[in-house]
Amino acid sequence: MARMTMIEAIRSAHDLAMQRDEKVVVFGEDVGYFGGVFRCTAGLQEKYGKHRCFDAPINESGIVGAAIGMAAYGLKPVVEIQFADYVYPAYDQIVSEAARMRHRSAGQFTCPMVIRMPTGGGIFGGQTHSQSPEALFTHVSGVKVVVPSSPYDARGLLLSAIEDPDPVIFLEPKRLYNGPFDGHHDRPVTAWKKHPLGEVPEDYDTIPLGKASVRRKGSDVTVLAYGTMVYVAEAAADETGIDAEIIDLRSLMPLDVEAITASVQKTGRCVIVHEATRTSGFGAELSATVQESCFYHLEAPILRVAGWDTPYPHAQEWAYFPGPERVAAALKDVMEA
Amino acid sequence: MPDSKPLSLRIPEPGCRPGDQPDFSDFVVPRAGEARRPDTDASPEDMRDMAFSIIRVINKKGEAVGPWADTLSVENLRDGLRHMLTLRAFDERMLKAQRQGKTSFYMQHLGEEAVACAFRMALEEGDMNFPTYRQAGLLIAGGYPLVDMMNQIYSNAEDPLKGRQLPIMYSSREHGFFTISGNLGTQFIQAVGWGMASAIAGDTRIASAWIGDGATSESDFYAAMVFASTYNAPVILNIVNNQWAISTFQGFARGNAVTFAERGHGFGIPSLRVDGNDYLAVHAVAKWAADRARAGLGPTLIEHVTYRAGGHSTSDDPSAYRSKDEFSAWPLGDPIDRLKRHLITLGEWSEERHTQALAEITETVRTAQKKAEAIGTLISGSHPSPRSMFDDVYAEMPPHLVAQRQAGGY
């Protein structure tokens, strides 16, 4: 085992995958020589050469489109979109091409690739460095969507994503790159090296896609969360004293409906938490799923705590970000209902 | 008050509209044989002139002339003529099948047969095309079975794509024909990525990208150009300029302001402009670009100058926006007539042989159609099971899709 930040864990996953499979090719804006604006690919070009890890022109559709061509050839591209906020120019390539290639060609052409992108707010990133666009991908048949919340998970899930025969959207909460964050922005931040989840295996070890992880056992209420919100939910549970069971979904598509159902049927209550805007966010899908599969076990309406339906603001960062106070209020509400 | 007049937009207009007399007097047709043939390793700067003229081989007398005239044997030419005749006969029958309601949709290649048919002959086994919906000539010249094409068009039980795709959105990895997408321009950059992959893998195979004049306005055209140039990718970037994007003339893609080939110059890509209705010229240029790519010398942009003689699709009536007589006035003529004339000039073909070949081809296409229709058309016969629509969304069917399939009763 070794101590790693999420950045180091992601870099380590790249390193192991590239070592293991010469078909793995890594590229994106500033990814090659410089090693990425967040350092997630640092040292890879030096170690594996310019043919395996290289810089790309500033064109997201080009990056994803070229990667699709490479995947169709038989390589395994792992590409980076510098911020999830900048994935939109590539949306046509992801939705119309990567997602449908296997289906429309009846399996003649496939698209084994990973599109990594830093996501989420809580960093004073303003409108275009804070968004959480996961619902734009979970709505697309043919892609998988993964959001890790710790170095341990990031490494194992990224290795699985690279192995996976289908296109995977890999959303990395940049707020968690250097340490966990529970939303208490006025308190000092812990580094991953002081957190148990900063301890990761050094050898090749994967975490299966489509499996949630129960982060905190509890009997009062089920909290469904992913990314940064896992730590926010933990803080809210601790601070309210409510015995919440916190499920880190890890994969949004495929979704671990079994784990969700088992938990809500046990607790009878459910709170869903995500940073993304509320309306038509992934929370709506989760809420509908819980309602359908746990209706007779529910003792209270399902609640959602989410970003407001506004663009992500700058100065109003902490009024926007669904912090522990808002989650705590929802936990109390659901217990009183 | 500033001393300025009110501003106004330019809205481009084609030279002629329905009822007008077509006028191509501004369209300069260089003499066949006139264009020089640079070495394949020539620097892009030394061949900029090639983007402003048109490479042509077959002259008015039907002779093959000039430095681009030596790439095909007589046997190749006869095959080429057969491919083009087959494509045209195929188009005729499928157009009729659509009118009869046997399928929902069709798009023909009338007048553009030489482009894909001649190009295909310059490729090698294992090369990959990223075609648009108007390059079925690549399949026909590549030996893909006509019955499979028709099965796809009819979405019947033997449709290789299991009824999932709109007619003519073919796919054949085996024949170097990448799965067609309805989204324009997307495949242009994918072709570059495929070529990059071949270079990364140290392979010798090359890719061919295809796009129409209208779709060069799409952002992915520029993505492809910058990636192809940056990485010196082994790819041939083909623009088929057939003058029309549905009802929109090429002026809206700025085709009249500069040539499409000229756009390669901004990226340092050698760019050639070729008579797309001249089978020999298309082949020679394709061969030149393929040799260049295979030698590791990088991408080539080719503008194929042609004319879309038919409607855009079976859902389109071109008489609503252009003159009915435009194709007959089109200065580059009909690709089939021109190759036929060339073969006759060579003494290697005759009207009798042509009539006989045409009868044979018509019969071959008719037989294939009967075979396909015996399996099924969109409205009759046997079809792919609804159960199969849940397959291939992912490599392995996730639980929610299994549940939906069961809920649907399949």
Rounded to whole angstroms, the Cα distance separating B271 from B35 reads 13
Percent of chain B with pLDDT over 90: 98
Same domain, B273 and B392: no
Average pLDDT value for chain A: 98
Catalytic hit among A14, A51, A129, A184? A129
> Is 80 exceeded by the pLDDT of residue A312?
yes
Same domain, B122 and B83: yes
- Is B312 catalytic? The answer is yes
What distance in Å separates residue B15's CA from the closest CA in chain A? 34
Q: What is the pLDDT of residue A337?
A: 86
pLDDT tens digits, A316-327: 999 999 999 999
Same domain, B259 and B407: no
At A23, the amino acid letter reads: K
- Is A129 catalytic? The answer is yes
Overall average pLDDT of the A139-154 stretch: 98
Residue B25 falls inside a structural domain: no
Q: What is the pLDDT of residue B45?
A: 94
Q: What is the pLDDT of residue B2?
A: 73
The minimal CB distance from A96 to the residues B183, B201, B392 is found for B183
Rounded to whole angstroms, the Cα distance separating A299 from A18 reads 49
Within chain A, residue ranges assigned H as helices are: 6-20, 44-48, 60-73, 91-92, 101-104, 134-138, 151-163, 229-240, 257-267, 282-294, 317-320, 324-336
List chain A residues with CB under 8 Å of B405: none
List chain B residues with CB under 8 Å of A100: 181
Long-range contacts of B9-12 (CB under 8 A, 24+ apart): B12/B249, B12/B251, B12/B252, B12/B256
Query: What kind of architecture, by CATH, is found in domain A2-200?
Result: 3-Layer(aba) Sandwich (3.40)
Overall average pLDDT of the A294-304 stretch: 98
Interface test with A, best of B211, B392, B402 (most A CBs within 10 A): B392
List chain A residues with CB under 8 Å of B160: 106, 108
What is the chain B residue with the closest CA to A22?
Answer: B201
- Is B308 catalytic? The answer is yes
Overall average pLDDT of the A312-319 stretch: 98
What distance in Å separates residue A268's CA from the closest CA in chain B? 23
pLDDT tens digits, B45-57: 999 999 999 999 9
Q: Whole-angstrom distance between the N-terminal and C-terminal Cα of chain B?
A: 74
> Is 90 exceeded by the pLDDT of residue B86?
yes
Confidence of residue A120 (pLDDT cuts 50, 70, 90): very high
What distance in Å separates residue B112's CA from the closest CA in chain A? 25
> Is 90 exceeded by the pLDDT of residue A236?
yes
Contact flag B400-A142 (C-beta cutoff 8 Å): no
Contact flag A70-B193 (C-beta cutoff 8 Å): yes
Looking from the CA of B356 toward its CB, the CA atoms found within 13 Å total 5
Residue B33 falls inside a structural domain: no
Residue B37 falls inside a structural domain: no
Same domain, B408 and B368: no
Same domain, B256 and B404: no
> Is 70 exceeded by the pLDDT of residue B61?
yes
Residue B151 falls inside a structural domain: yes
A213-336 placed in CATH 3.40.50.920? yes
Contact flag A109-B207 (C-beta cutoff 8 Å): no
Residue B392 falls inside a structural domain: yes
List chain A residues with CB under 8 Å of B190: 65-66, 68-69, 72, 97
Beta pairing, strands A244-248 & A114-119? unpaired
Catalytic hit among B82, B308, B322, B338? B308
Same domain, B130 and B83: yes
Domain range summary for chain A, segments of one domain joined by +: 2-200, 213-336
The minimal CB distance from A61 to the residues B189, B196, B197 is found for B189
A and B: number of Cβ contacts within 8 A: 146
Domain of B213 in residue numbering reads as 44-378
Same domain, B252 and B395: no
Confidence of residue B1 (pLDDT cuts 50, 70, 90): low
Average pLDDT value for chain B: 97
Residue B152 falls inside a structural domain: yes
What distance in Å separates residue A278's CA from the closest CA in chain B? 23
DSSP code at position A96: I
What distance in Å separates residue B215's CA from the closest CA in chain A? 14
Same domain, B92 and B194: yes
Contact flag A69-B181 (C-beta cutoff 8 Å): no
List chain B residues with CB under 8 Å of A72: 128, 178, 190, 193-194
Beta pairing, strands B128-130 & B207-212? parallel
Contact flag A61-B226 (C-beta cutoff 8 Å): no
Same domain, B220 and B190: yes
List chain A residues with CB under 8 Å of B230: 57
What distance in Å separates residue A1's CA from the closest CA in chain B? 32
pLDDT tens digits, B245-304: 999 999 999 998 899 999 999 999 999 999 999 999 999 999 999 999 999 999 999 999
Contact flag A69-B169 (C-beta cutoff 8 Å): no
Residue B215 falls inside a structural domain: yes
Is there a common fold for A2-200 and A213-336?
yes
Overall average pLDDT of the A160-170 stretch: 98
Between helix B74-99 and helix B279-294 the angle, nearest 10°, is 110
Interface test with B, best of A60, A76, A102, A103 (most B CBs within 10 A): A103
Rounded to whole angstroms, the Cα distance separating B12 from B251 reads 6
DSSP code at position B181: -
> Is 90 exceeded by the pLDDT of residue B389?
yes
List chain A residues with CB under 8 Å of B178: 72, 109
Task: Say how many domains are in chain B.
Answer: 2
Overall average pLDDT of the B336-346 stretch: 98
> Is 70 exceeded by the pLDDT of residue B192?
yes
Same domain, B399 and B272: no
The angle subtended at Cα A109 by Cα B400 and Cα B140, nearest 5°, is 135
Residue B14 falls inside a structural domain: no
Overall average pLDDT of the A194-208 stretch: 94
Q: Whole-angstrom distance between the N-terminal and C-terminal Cα of chain A?
A: 45
Cα separations (Å) of A173 from A83, A155, A272, A284, B187?
A: 10, 13, 18, 21, 31
Overall average pLDDT of the B100-116 stretch: 98
Same domain, B322 and B250: yes
Confirm if B291 and B274 have CB atoms less than 8 A apart: no
Rounded to whole angstroms, the Cα distance separating B340 from B351 reads 9
pTM of the model: 0.97
Overall average pLDDT of the A108-118 stretch: 98
List chain A residues with CB under 8 Å of B171: 104-106, 108-109
Overall average pLDDT of the A87-107 stretch: 98
Same domain, B311 and B400: no
